[in-house]
Amino acid sequence: MDGKTPMQALECVLHDNRFIYETRQEPKTDVITELFFVHPLSITMWRAFPHVMLIDTTYKTNIYNMPFVQVVGLTLTNKSFYIAHAVICKERRDNFVWVLERIKSMLHEWVFNYVYKNWLKDYKEMFVCVWTNKCRNFGQHTTNRVESQHANLKRYVTRGSSLERIARCVIDIIETQYGEIQKSFTDSIEKTMNHHKNLLLDNLRGKVSHTALDLLEGELTRKLEVLQKLNPSCGCHMWLSYGLPCAFRLENYKQRKIQLDDVDVFWRKFDLLPCKLSRYGS
């Protein structure tokens, strides 16, 4: 390490790769107990897709055996991306509060105001599991997506890895995610899948993601058929949770094609420019 301490080596990696990072020290000893860091590409992806944020902790990743926190986001093409990372000394409430405060500080004021005014202020109960299908969460009900990213990271690091090694692996993964996300945009715009050729989807192909078309095709071919035969309530889950026309709404279309404005703007955003958030879509 060219005479550098492990922490100095880590800071060199973070600084050289333009990470934004913060540390917290034990007051009596000045020993670093927590570290929070965000890559610039993560900030770009996060600002473009701030709609979903999942957080979870994994273990056995570093030489210090410290819990490693990963925060993960989601794009319209169902791609996961790293938002932020943290190393904490223990799974204690105040440590997680510190991490969440760092995340909050990274958010633009417009994003935080959106979250507070449109969700936290009047709809706190929507964050309880029983309410998850009644709010716009784009199908994210668990931390499975983050756990998948834990497994992805552990392909490259082991219990004995230095924090410098972990940071370098995070950089490689983020750069890969960034490229894959951009390719997925192009694929959704330029490629037509055979199972997306339903006439009702004519106005949407190339204008919404393949993931959205997959969901709509499933609603058209399965749930709508059940609704028409048995006349039950569809529950409007697809509309409430995903921002896509549900079987009940599709049944009212008859032979009319689904309009682009009937789809939440989340499914139409094929760029990494900062998102303009609105509560119900367009």
List, for residues 167-225, the tens digit of each pLDDT value: 999 999 999 999 999 999 999 999 999 999 988 899 999 999 999 999 999 888 876 56
Residue 105: is its pLDDT beyond 50? yes
Over the stretch 250-265, which tens digit does the pLDDT of each residue have?
777 766 789 999 999 9
**Mean pLDDT, to the nearest integer, of 120-133?**
50
Residues 227 and 182 reside in one and the same domain: no
Residue with tokens 């058209």: 220
pLDDT of residue 237: 79
pLDDT of residue 132: 52
- Provide the mean pLDDT of the chain: 85
Residues 179 and 259 reside in one and the same domain: no
pLDDT of residue 238: 85
Q: Which domain holds residue 34?
A: 6-114+143-187
pLDDT of residue 232: 57
Q: Quick check: is 94 in a domain?
A: yes
Residues 165 and 242 reside in one and the same domain: no
Q: Compute the distance between CA of residue 63 and CA of residue 159 in angstroms, rounded to an integer.
A: 6
- Contact status, residue 204 vs residue 259, Cβ threshold 8 Å: no
Question: Which range among 52-56, 93-97, 246-250 shows the weakest confidence by mean pLDDT?
Answer: 246-250
Residue with tokens 């890559």: 39
Q: pLDDT band at residue 72, thresholds of 50, 70 and 90?
A: very high
Residues 28 and 98 reside in one and the same domain: yes
Residues 168 and 195 reside in one and the same domain: no
pLDDT of residue 216: 92
Residue with tokens 């995903």: 242
Q: What is the dihedral of CA 223, 225, 229, 235, to 10 degrees?
A: 20
Residue 227: is its pLDDT beyond 70? no
User: How many other C-beta atoms lie within 10 A of the C-beta of residue 219?
Assistant: 23
Q: Quick check: is 136 in a domain?
A: no
Q: Quick check: is 127 in a domain?
A: no
The pair of three-digit structure tokens given for residue 221, joined into one six-digit string: 């071919």
| 34 Cβ contact list (under 8 Å, min separation 6) | 23, 24, 86, 87, 88, 89, 95, 98, 99
Q: Quick check: is 52 in a domain?
A: yes
| 167 Cβ contact list (under 8 Å, min separation 6) | 10, 13, 14, 17, 19, 37
Residues 173 and 221 reside in one and the same domain: no
pLDDT of residue 218: 87
Burial 63-82 (b: 16+ CB within 10 A, else e): eeebbbbbbbbbbbbbbbbb
pLDDT of residue 233: 60
- Contact status, residue 150 vs residue 46, Cβ threshold 8 Å: no
Question: Which range among 37-41, 83-87, 95-99, 249-253 shows the weakest confidence by mean pLDDT?
Answer: 249-253
Residues 260 and 230 reside in one and the same domain: yes
- Contact status, residue 265 vs residue 282, Cβ threshold 8 Å: yes
Residue 111: is its pLDDT beyond 90? no
- Contact status, residue 239 vs residue 251, Cβ threshold 8 Å: no
Q: Quick check: is 128 in a domain?
A: no
pLDDT of residue 130: 43
Burial class of 243 by CB neighbour count within 10 A (0 to 12, 13 to 18, 19+): buried
Q: How many domains is the chain built from? A: 2
Residues 166 and 217 reside in one and the same domain: no
Residues 245 and 162 reside in one and the same domain: no
pLDDT of residue 81: 97
Q: pLDDT band at residue 279, thresholds of 50, 70 and 90?
A: very low
Q: Quick check: is 281 in a domain?
A: no
Over the stretch 1-40, which tens digit does the pLDDT of each residue have?
577 888 889 999 999 999 999 999 988 888 899 999 999 9
The pair of three-digit structure tokens given for residue 256, joined into one six-digit string: 């009319």
Question: Which range among 12-26, 114-128, 145-159, 229-243 shows the weakest confidence by mean pLDDT?
Answer: 114-128
